[in-house]
Structure 1
Amino acid sequence: MPHSTQTKIAKGAVWMILFKLVERGLGLISTLILARLLMPEDFGVVAMAMSFIAMAELLSAFSFDTAIIQNQKATQEHYNSAWTCSLLLGLVITLVMIALAVPIATFYNRPELAWVVIALAFGPLFTGAQNIGVVAFLKELDFRREFRFQVSRKLISFCIVVPLAFLFRSYWALVAGILVSKFGGVLISYLMHPYRPRLDFSKARELLVFSRWLLVNNAAGFFKERAADFFVGRMIGANSLGTYNLAYELANLPTTEIGAPINRALLPGFAKMHGPAEVSSAYTNAVGILALVALPIAAGMHALAPYLIPVMLGNKWLDVVPLMQLLAFNGALLLFHASICAVLIGRGFPARVMYANLFYTAMLLALLAGIFQYDKSIGVKGAAYAALLTSLLSTPVYLYQLRHCLGLQPFLFIKAATRPALASALLILMVQWVIPPYRVGTTFVSTFIWLLAGSIVALGTYVAAVLLVWHVAGRPVGAEHMLLQRLAKEWAQRFKLRTGSSHV
C-alpha cells in the first residue's frame, strides 16, 4: 500500500505537470497576444474588479471538495451537501457583487469598472454550479481524467479570448475569457462525470466542521495573493497595478506551473498514507523534486528577465523586469509554503495551515502599509519588496507547523533544497557574466538571440552544477539519485525495444 500510494502520487504529479505545461502553453500564447493588443491599464482594470470578486468569493471558500477528498468515508449525502452549499453560496456572492458594483467603481474612482464587476459577478455562480462528482478524479487518484477535465476548460477559454482580443482591443476580452472558462468548466464537468448532484443539506454541518478552518485559511490565502492589489490600485493606479499583476503572474510560474500540480497530487496522496515513516519519506522526496525543478526556473527568470520581457511582451512592458526579478524568488518560496500546506491539509491539520497563512497575511499587510505610508514614491516596487520579505520571514513559521504536527524536522527541508539552491546561484552568476546588460533599442532579432544563448548557458550551467554539487556531497540518495535512476531505466527500456525490433 505505501509503495502503491507513492507511485500513484508520482504518476499524478506527472499528469498534473503535463496539464500545467499544456495550460501554460495556451496561456503563454494568449498572454503574448493580449500583451501586444492591450495596454497595462486594461490588465489593471480587470485586476481591480477581480480583487473584490475574489474577496467576495471568500464567502464560499469552505473548500468542500477538499473536505470530501480528506474524508475517506464520504457518502453520496456528503457530495450532495457539498454541491448544494457551493451553489447557494455562489448565488449569494453574485447578488452581493452586483449590488456593490457602483461602490467598488467609486472606491477606485473609475466609473467604467461597475459594468466589469457586474459581468464578473456571475463567475462565482458558475463555479458553484460545477458538478461535485469531478472531485472523485482526485479522491480516487484518477489523474488522467483530471488532466482531461482541466485541459478542456482551458481550451474553451483560449478559443474565445484570443478572437475577442482582436475584436474588442480592450479589457472586455479578459472579462469574456474569465467567464467563458468558468461556464465551460460547468458544462464539461457534467459531460465528463455521470454523477448528478441533488439539493441536500443533511451533511452540511459535518462538512463545515472540517471546512471552517479552510474558510479562514482561504481568506488568509486571498490576502496573501491580493493584498498588494488594493494598495497599488488605490494609491498608484490601474497602469501600475496591471504591471505588477503581470510581473507577479510570470514570477510565480514555479508555483503555478510546477508546484501547484505536484501539490494537487500530494494532498489526496498524503490523505491515504499510514504512519510517520511513509509521510516523512514521501515529503522528503517531494521537496527534493520541487527544489530541483523550481529553483532553477526562478533563478533563470531572474537572470534572463531583461531579455525575456522584450521578446515576450515588447518594450512597453519593460517596467515588469525589475518587479519580476524580485518576485521570482518570492515565487520559489511560495512554492515550498504550498507544499507544506498540502501535506498538513492532507494529514488533517487545516487549522495549522490557517495559523501560518494568517501570520503571513498580517506581516504582508503591515509591510505594505508601512512602506506606502513611509514613501509613496517607491512605487510598485515597494509591493514587490514587501512580498519577498514576508515570504522570507514567514518560512520558519511554516516549517514549525510541519515539525509540530508531523514531526518532520526543518533539516529535511534544508537538506533537500541546499544543493539545487547552490546550483541555481551558480546559474545566475554565469548568465550575468556571459550575457551583456540589455539596452533599449536593441533589435528584436538580437534580443532573441541573446535570450536563446542565455537560456542555453543557464541550462548547461545548472545541470553541470547540480551533478558537481551532488558528487561532492558523496552522491547521497535523494532527488538527483531518483531522477538519474529514472532516466537510466527509461534509456534501458528504449534500448531494449530498439534491440528487440532490430532482431525482428
Structure 2
Amino acid sequence: MENIGRRVGIGIIWMVGARLFDRSIGIVSTVILARLLMPADFGLVAMATAIGAILDLLGAFSFDLALIQNKNAERKHYDTVWTFNVMFGVFCGLCLIVLAHPAAGFYKEARLENVMYVLSLSYFLNAFTNVGLVAFRKDLNFDKEFHFIFWRRLVTFIITIGAALLFRSYWALLMGMTVGRLVSLIMSYKMNDYRPRFSLAASRELFGFSKWLLINNILFFILHRGCTFIIGRLYGTSTLGIYAISREISSLPSTELVAPINRVMFPGFSKMRDVAQISQAYLKLFGLITLTILPIGIGIAAVAAPLVETMLGAKWMAAIPVIQLLAIHGAIGATQGNNGVVWLSLGHPRMTTSVAAIFLVVLFSSLYFFMNAYGVVGVGLAYILGHVVTVPYSTMVSKRLLKFSWPSFFGTLWRPVLAVVAMYAAVHYIDAQLISQPPLLRLIIDSLAGATVYAAVVLLAWRAAGSPDGAEEFVLARVLNGWTTLRRRFT
C-alpha cells in the first residue's frame, strides 16, 4: 500500500506538471489567437468539432480504462482495443466527409464543409495511435506520459501560432489540430515498443465493462457539448465562439488540474484492494481538491471582468457573465470528479451513468427557460442548477460505497467553502472601488487580495477548529518545507 501511495503521489506531481505546462501553453495560445482571430473563427471550428464529437460517441467505450481496471489484461486485450480504435477512427473520418455538405446546410455556413474535410484527416491519423501508451498509466509510469504531452503540445503551439500569424483565419486552428494528431501518432510508436496487431479476440470481455462507459460518455457528451449545437443553431458563429472561449477559460480548474489528478488516481484506486484504504485516500483527495482547486475556479469568476479586458480585449466583453457562471460550475464540478473515479475503480460504472442522467434531465429541462430569459448566459445558470440537484446524490452514493462518516466529510469541506465566500465578497468589493483603473492593475490587485483573504480565512478557521489533520496541514507542511529548502540553498 505504501509503495502504491508513493507512486501515486509521484504520478500526481508528473501529471499536474504536465497539465500545468500544457495549459500554460494553451492559455498563451488562446490569448494570442484571440487577438489575431475573430470570435466567428472559433465558433466555426467549434461547430465542426462538435459534429466530430458526436461521431466519437460511436467508439466511446473508454477501452483504455477497461485495460487499466483489468489486472490480468493480456496482449489480446491490447490488440482488440487497437483494432476497435482503428475501425471507429476510420469510420468517423469517413462520416465527417459524408456529412460535410449537409452540416453546412444545417448551420447555414458554407465554410463549414471544407473545415470538416480537413478535420477528417485528424481522425484518420488518431485511429492508428499506439495502444501501448495505456501501459504508462496502468504501470504508474507517468514521467513517460509527461514527455509525451510536453512535446506534442510544444509542436502544436508553434504550428498553430505560426499559421495564425500567416493566415489570420480559422485555418490556423485546423492546422494545429492536424499536426498535433500527427505528432501524437509518431511519438506513440517511438516512445513505446509495443506493436499492435489486428485482433478481436477479447471483444466480449472488453464490452462487458465498457458498455456502461459508452453510455456514460454519451451522457457526458450531451452534458458538455449539447449546448454547443443549440447556441450555434440559434445564435450563429460569433456567439458560439464567445461561449467556446468562455467554457475553455472557466473550465481550467476541472480540465487542467483535477483531470490529471484523477487520471493518476484511477489506476491507483484500482490497485488498492481494501475499501477502508480507498475511503481514506478519497477523503484526503477530496479535501486537497476542495482546498486548492475550488478557490481557483471561484477566483476566475471573481476576476472575470478585468481578466477578459486584459487577456482577450474589447471584442470579447460579452463573455464576462458567461465566464462567471461557467467558472462556478467548473469549480463545483472539480470537487465532484473523484466520485466517478472511485466508482469506476470499484467496478460500479452504472453509478456514473445515473448521476449523468439526472444532471442531463435537470440541465435540458431548465435550459429552455433560462436561455429564453437570459440568452447564452442562461446556459451557465442551467449548469449550476444541475449541480444543486446532483451533488447531494453523488455524495450519498460515495458514502454508501466507502462508508465514511458525515463529520469526516464535512470536516474537510466547511473551511474552504467559508474562505471562498469571503474571498469572492472581498474581490467584488475591491474591484468596484478600482473600476476606473486600467484592467491589468485591477486584475493584479484583485488576484492578490483574493488570495490573501482566502489564505487568511482558511488558516484562522483551521486554527479555530483545533488544527485538525487534513489538507491544510498537508499544504502548510509542504510550503514550509519548500521555504526551508530555499533558505538553505541561498544562505
Q: TM tier, shorter chain?
A: over 0.9
Quote the residue 2:96 is aligned against.
97
Q: 1:438 to 1:41 in 2, by over 3 A?
A: farther
Pairing 1:386-405 to 2, within 5 Å after superposition: 386-405=382-401
Quote the residue 2:458 is aligned against.
466
Q: How far is 1:362 from its partner? A: 2.4
Quote the residue 2:73 is aligned against.
74
Query: For 1:317-358, what per-residue CA distance to the aligned partner results, in whole angstroms no more than 9, with x for missing partners?
Result: 111111111111100111123211111112221121122112
Does the 8 A contact of 1:400 with 1:410 survive in 2? no
Q: Kindly provide the amino acid, as one letter, of the partner of residue 338 in structure 2.
A: S
Measure the CA separation in 1 of the matches of 2:419 and 2:325. 19
Q: What secondary structure does 1:33 align onto?
A: helix
Q: 1:349 to 1:278 in 2, by over 3 A?
A: same
Q: How far is 1:249 from its partner? A: 1.0
Q: How far is 1:490 from its partner? A: 4.1
Does the 8 A contact of 1:119 with 1:175 survive in 2? yes
Q: What secondary structure does 1:475 align onto?
A: coil
List alignment gaps of at least 5 residues for structure 1.
500-504
Does the 8 A contact of 2:253 with 2:293 survive in 1? yes
Measure the CA separation in 1 of the matches of 2:378 and 2:410. 29
Pairing 1:353-432 to 2, within 5 Å after superposition: 353-372=352-371, 375=372, 378-408=374-404, 412-432=408-428
Deviates further, 53-62 or 486-495? 486-495
Q: Kindly provide the amino acid, as one letter, of the partner of residue 187 in structure 1.
A: I
Q: 1:186 to 1:409 in 2, by over 3 A?
A: farther
Measure the CA separation in 1 of the matches of 2:349 and 2:327. 27
Measure the CA separation in 2 of the matches of 1:55 and 1:435. 41
Q: How far is 1:268 from its partner? A: 0.6
Query: For 1:396-422, what per-residue CA distance to the aligned partner results, in whole angstroms no more than 9, with x for missing partners?
Result: 232233234333456554332221111
Does the 8 A contact of 1:247 with 1:327 survive in 2? yes
Measure the CA separation in 2 of the matches of 1:86 and 1:415. 44
Pairing 1:476-495 to 2, within 5 Å after superposition: 476-491=468-483
Quote the residue 1:435 is aligned against.
431
Q: How far is 1:61 from its partner? A: 0.6
Pick aligned residue for 2:447 from 455, 461, 464: 455
Q: 1:51 to 1:412 in 2, by over 3 A?
A: farther
Q: How far is 1:365 from its partner? A: 2.0
Q: 1:201 to 1:438 in 2, by over 3 A?
A: farther
Q: How far is 1:3 from its partner? A: 2.0
Does the 8 A contact of 1:46 with 1:116 survive in 2? yes
Measure the CA separation in 1 of the matches of 2:406 and 2:234. 39
Does the 8 A contact of 1:333 with 1:392 survive in 2? no
Q: 1:414 to 1:87 in 2, by over 3 A?
A: farther
Quote the residue 1:219 is aligned against.
218
Measure the CA separation in 2 of the matches of 1:88 and 1:156. 27
CA RMSD, aligned part only? 1.8
Q: How far is 1:127 from its partner? A: 2.4
Q: What secondary structure does 1:319 align onto?
A: helix
Measure the CA separation in 2 of the matches of 1:413 and 1:93. 44
Measure the CA separation in 1 of the matches of 2:367 and 2:425. 31
Matched residues, number: 491
Q: Kindly provide the amino acid, as one letter, of the partner of residue 343 in structure 1.
A: V
Q: How far is 1:204 from its partner? A: 1.6
Pairing 1:38-117 to 2, within 5 Å after superposition: 38-117=37-116
| Residue 339 of structure 2 is aligned to residue 340 of structure 1 | yes
Q: Kindly provide the amino acid, as one letter, of the partner of residue 452 in structure 1.
A: I
Measure the CA separation in 2 of the matches of 1:295 and 1:283. 16
Pairing 1:265-304 to 2, within 5 Å after superposition: 265-304=264-303
Measure the CA separation in 2 of the matches of 1:404 and 1:176. 48
Quote the residue 2:246 is aligned against.
247
Measure the CA separation in 2 of the matches of 1:250 and 1:216. 27
| Residue 320 of structure 2 is aligned to residue 321 of structure 1 | yes
Query: For 1:180-233, what per-residue CA distance to the aligned partner results, in whole angstroms no more than 9, with x for missing partners?
Result: 212211111111111111111111221111111111111111111111111111
Does the 8 A contact of 1:57 with 1:124 survive in 2? no
Q: How far is 1:498 from its partner? A: 7.0
Q: What secondary structure does 1:62 align onto?
A: coil
Q: What secondary structure does 1:435 align onto?
A: helix
Q: What secondary structure does 1:199 align onto?
A: coil
Q: How far is 1:102 from its partner? A: 1.2
Measure the CA separation in 2 of the matches of 1:346 and 1:122. 34
Measure the CA separation in 2 of the matches of 1:385 and 1:52. 25
| Residue 34 of structure 2 is aligned to residue 35 of structure 1 | yes
Q: What secondary structure does 2:169 align onto?
A: coil
Measure the CA separation in 1 of the matches of 2:398 and 2:160. 41
Measure the CA separation in 1 of the matches of 2:487 and 2:110. 65
Does the 8 A contact of 2:431 with 2:446 survive in 1? yes
Deviates further, 94-103 or 401-410? 401-410
Q: 1:413 to 1:157 in 2, by over 3 A?
A: farther
Measure the CA separation in 2 of the matches of 1:356 and 1:105. 34
Does the 8 A contact of 1:61 with 1:218 survive in 2? yes
Q: What secondary structure does 1:200 align onto?
A: coil
Q: 1:305 to 1:496 in 2, by over 3 A?
A: closer
Q: How far is 1:438 from its partner? A: 6.8
Does the 8 A contact of 1:399 with 1:410 survive in 2? no
Deviates further, 307-316 or 455-464? 455-464
List alignment gaps of at least 5 residues for structure 2.
none
Q: 1:438 to 1:171 in 2, by over 3 A?
A: farther
Q: What secondary structure does 1:318 align onto?
A: helix
Identity of aligned residues (%): 37
